[in-house]
Structure 1
Amino acid sequence: MEPSTPSSDVIPEKQLKIWKIFRNVGPDGEEILKTAKLAHSAAYNRGLVVTMTDETYSFVREGDDVCKILKIPELSGVQVEEFVTGTINFAVTVDRQVFSWYWGVPPAPVTGSLTGVQARQIALSEFEGILALSVGGDVHQWGLTQSENWRRAWTWTKIPKEHFGNQEVISIACVELTGVALTSKGMLYQWISGEGGTMPKKVRIAGSVPFKKVTGGSDFIAALTLKGEMRYLKIKHPGLISGGDTTTEWKTIFKDHKIQDMASCTWPGKVFVVELNKDARFVLSSPLPEASHHAPSFTLPSSLSMDELFSQNGDTSYQTISAQVKTRNKASDVLCNLWENKKLADVAFSVEGKVITAHRCILAERSEYFEIMFSREWMEATGGASSAIEVKDTKYDVFEALLFYIYTDLIKFKEDEDENIFELMKLADFYCQVKLHNECEKILINNISEENAFFFARIASSVNASTLEEKAMKFIADYQVLGDNSSPEKKPWRGFMDAFEKMSAALLNQ
Structure 2
Amino acid sequence: MNNRSPVIIPRKRLNLWSIFRDVGPEVENILSSAKLAHVGEGKGFVVTLEDDTYSYISDVNNGEVNVTRIPELSQFFVGSIFLALTDDGALYSWINDHPMRYGVLKCDEDVKNLGRIQPGTLDWSQPDLTTLLATPHLVGGALTEKKVQTVALSFRGRVMALTTGGEVYQWGERGPHGSPEPVLIAQQHFHRQAVISIACTDHISVAINFSGEVCTYGVLL
TM category, shorter? 0.5 to 0.7
Q: Tell me whether 1:58 sits opposite 2:55 in the alignment.
A: yes
- 2:206–2:217 contact (8 Å) kept in structure 1: yes
**Structure 2 unaligned runs (5+)?**
22-27, 98-129
Work out which structure has the larger RCO, using CA pairs closer than 8 Å and 6 or more positions apart in sequence.
Answer: 2
Partner of 1:161: 187
- Alpha-carbon spacing, 1:12–1:182, altered in 2? closer, same or farther (3 Å): farther
CA deviations over 1:80-134 (Å, ceiling 9, x no partner): 2222122222111121201111234232111222112111111111113111111
CA deviations over 1:201-234 (Å, ceiling 9, x no partner): xxxxxxxxxxxxxxxxxxxxxxxxxxxxxxxxxx
Partner of 1:109: 138
Partner of 2:216: 190
CA distance in 1, matches of 2:92, 2:213: 30
- Alpha-carbon spacing, 1:71–1:53, altered in 2? closer, same or farther (3 Å): farther
- Structure number with larger C-alpha Rg: 1
**Structure 1 unaligned runs (5+)?**
1-5, 145-151, 199-510
DSSP-derived class of the 2:208 partner:
strand
> What amino acid maps onto 2:168 in structure 1?
V
- 2:42–2:58 contact (8 Å) kept in structure 1: yes
Partner of 1:71: 67
Once the 2 structures are TM-superposed, how far is the Cα of residue 45 of structure 1 from its aligned partner?
5.3
> What amino acid maps onto 1:118 in structure 2?
K
CA deviations over 1:238-290 (Å, ceiling 9, x no partner): xxxxxxxxxxxxxxxxxxxxxxxxxxxxxxxxxxxxxxxxxxxxxxxxxxxxx
Partner of 1:24: 16
> What amino acid maps onto 2:157 in structure 1?
E
CA distance in 1, matches of 2:145, 2:45: 24
Q: Give the TM-score of the pair, scaled to structure 1.
A: 0.28
- Alpha-carbon spacing, 1:83–1:155, altered in 2? closer, same or farther (3 Å): same
- 1:171–1:181 contact (8 Å) kept in structure 2: yes
Once the 2 structures are TM-superposed, how far is the Cα of residue 46 of structure 1 from its aligned partner?
3.4
Q: How many residues of Structure 1 are paired with residues of Structure 2 in the alignment?
A: 165
Once the 2 structures are TM-superposed, how far is the Cα of residue 43 of structure 1 from its aligned partner?
5.1
CA distance in 2, matches of 1:11, 1:137: 41
- 1:125–1:175 contact (8 Å) kept in structure 2: yes
1:91 to 84, 104, 129: 84
> What amino acid maps onto 2:46 in structure 1?
V
- 1:131–1:142 contact (8 Å) kept in structure 2: yes
Partner of 1:175: 201
- Alpha-carbon spacing, 1:46–1:161, altered in 2? closer, same or farther (3 Å): same
- 1:143–1:154 contact (8 Å) kept in structure 2: yes
- 2:208–2:214 contact (8 Å) kept in structure 1: yes
CA distance in 2, matches of 1:96, 1:11: 31
Q: Return the structure number with greater helix share.
A: 1
DSSP-derived class of the 2:32 partner:
helix
What root-mean-square deviation, in Å, do the aligned CA atoms of Structure 1 and Structure 2 show?
3.7
CA distance in 1, matches of 2:145, 2:4: 35
> What amino acid maps onto 2:68 in structure 1?
I
Partner of 1:484: none
DSSP-derived class of the 2:188 partner:
helix
Partner of 2:148: 119
Once the 2 structures are TM-superposed, how far is the Cα of residue 164 of structure 1 from its aligned partner?
0.8
1:133 to 140, 151, 162: 162
CA deviations over 1:326-371 (Å, ceiling 9, x no partner): xxxxxxxxxxxxxxxxxxxxxxxxxxxxxxxxxxxxxxxxxxxxxx
Q: Give the TM-score of the pair, scaled to structure 2.
A: 0.58
Q: Stretches of 4+ moved more than 6 A in 1? A: none
Once the 2 structures are TM-superposed, how far is the Cα of residue 191 of structure 1 from its aligned partner?
0.5
> What amino acid maps onto 1:82 in structure 2?
Q
Once the 2 structures are TM-superposed, how far is the Cα of residue 7 of structure 1 from its aligned partner?
6.5
DSSP-derived class of the 1:120 partner:
strand
> What amino acid maps onto 1:101 in structure 2?
W
Once the 2 structures are TM-superposed, how far is the Cα of residue 31 of structure 1 from its aligned partner?
2.6
- 1:57–1:69 contact (8 Å) kept in structure 2: no
- Alpha-carbon spacing, 1:33–1:156, altered in 2? closer, same or farther (3 Å): same
> What amino acid maps onto 1:47 in structure 2?
G
Sequence identity of aligned pairs in percent?
29
CA distance in 2, matches of 1:42, 1:49: 9
- 1:50–1:80 contact (8 Å) kept in structure 2: no
Q: Tell me whether 1:49 sits opposite 2:75 in the alignment.
A: no
